[in-house]
């Protein structure tokens, strides 16, 4: 399983200028934190859905399907013993990640979500894996680049509900305009009205910690958020 970067109308909506995007991951290896209670199928009142399994399970399910298409029957043990270096590297890199299928307005996209914890709060680093769509113009595909987005993951006390809040670009724009933060970024887009953070993962985490300690009561308010229940 290798990430495939595609784009279509759903992604243009989902990852528009409302969401902060980063060139580098928001997590570091020492902060990764796998929370089993995030696994499962979550839905909201609008029939949007968030289906979460471990990346490792998705990886081997994909390998088994490939074998079955070729008329072969392999167990997970057989597949583990036959992995090449590329597959092993991918599995090791994302072994603590989630494979997330998001359905929004009946349109699906899959993501790799790496969980991490800072100051006892849980976050997700989201990166696009694949979208079901008609083949994209190959020249357009060459102009796409994978980015990371930041989600604050909140559980209800009984873990029956979750809230996913994307870090809103409006908040970042406000901080930059008021000279309240110093973080590396580039502006891009036709009107250069979008931000791409270029800071390292370590620098990003320093920023997140400082932001968490701010007195802004609306710091996690976002135009893009989901409230799901099992």
State the pLDDT at residue 13: 40
- Classify residue 160: in a domain, yes or no: yes
**Domain for residue 118, yes or no?**
yes
Domain contains 82: no
Question: Which pLDDT score, from 0 to 100, does residue 81 have?
Answer: 83
Listed residue (55, 38, 48) closest to 3, CA to CA: 55
Helix locations, 4-102, DSSP H: 9-14, 55-69, 76-82, 85-94
pLDDT tens, per residue, the chain with 230 residues? 554 444 433 344 444 458 899 999 999 999 999 999 999 999 999 889 999 999 999 999 998 888 888 887 777 788 888 889 999 999 999 999 999 999 988 888 899 999 999 999 999 999 988 765 555 566 766 667 789 999 999 999 999 999 999 999 889 988 988 888 889 999 887 777 788 999 999 999 999 999 999 888 888 988 889 999 99
Residue 124 domain-assigned? yes
Number of domains, the chain: 1
Give the pLDDT score at 228: 97
22: closest CA among 178, 174, 145? 145
Cα–Cα distance, 128 to 32 (Å, whole number)? 19
| Alpha carbon 17 to chain centroid, angstroms | 16
**Given this model, what pLDDT does residue 74 score?**
74
Which 8-state DSSP code applies to residue 135? P
168 located within any domain: yes
89 lies in some domain? no
For the chain, the farthest-separated pair of C-alpha atoms sits apart, in whole angstroms, at 61
Let me know if residue 180 belongs to a domain.
yes
CA distance 113 to 12: 19
Packing angle of the helix pair 85-94, 55-69 (nearest 10 deg):
150
Does some domain include residue 129? Answer: yes
The residue among 56, 57, 59, 52 whose CA lies nearest residue 36 is 52
The one-character DSSP state at 177 is: H
Q: What's the domain range around 129? A: 9-53+97-214+221-229
Q: What is the pLDDT of residue 10?
A: 39
Q: What is the pLDDT of residue 65?
A: 87
Q: How many CA atoms lie within 13 A of 60 on its CB side?
A: 16
């Amino acid at each position: 399983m290798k990430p495939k970067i595609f784009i279509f109308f759903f992604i243009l909506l989902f990852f528009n200028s409302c969401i902060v995007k980063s060139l580098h991951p928001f997590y570091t290896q020492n902060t990764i934190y796998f929370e089993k209670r995030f696994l499962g199928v979550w839905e909201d009142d609008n029939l949007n859905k968030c289906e979460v399994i471990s990346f490792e399970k998705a990886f081997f399910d994909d390998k088994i399907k490939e074998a079955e298409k070729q008329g072969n029957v392999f167990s997970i043990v057989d597949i583990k013993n036959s992995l090449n270096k590329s597959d092993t590297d991918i599995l090791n890199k994302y072994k603590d990640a989630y494979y997330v299928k998001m359905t929004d307005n009946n349109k699906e996209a899959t993501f790799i979500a790496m969980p991490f914890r800072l100051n006892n709060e849980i976050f997700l680093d989201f990166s696009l894996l694949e979208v079901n769509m008609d083949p994209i113009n190959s020249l357009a595909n060459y102009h796409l680049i994978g980015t990371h987005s930041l989600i604050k993951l909140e559980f209800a006390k009984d873990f029956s509900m979750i809230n996913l809040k994307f870090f809103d670009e409006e908040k970042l724009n406000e901080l930059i305009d008021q000279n309240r933060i110093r973080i590396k970024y580039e502006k891009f887009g036709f009107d250069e009205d979008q931000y791409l953070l270029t800071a390292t993962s370590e620098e990003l985490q320093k920023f997140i910690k400082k932001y968490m300690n701010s007195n802004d009561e609306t710091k996690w308010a976002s135009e893009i958020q989901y409230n799901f229940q099992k």
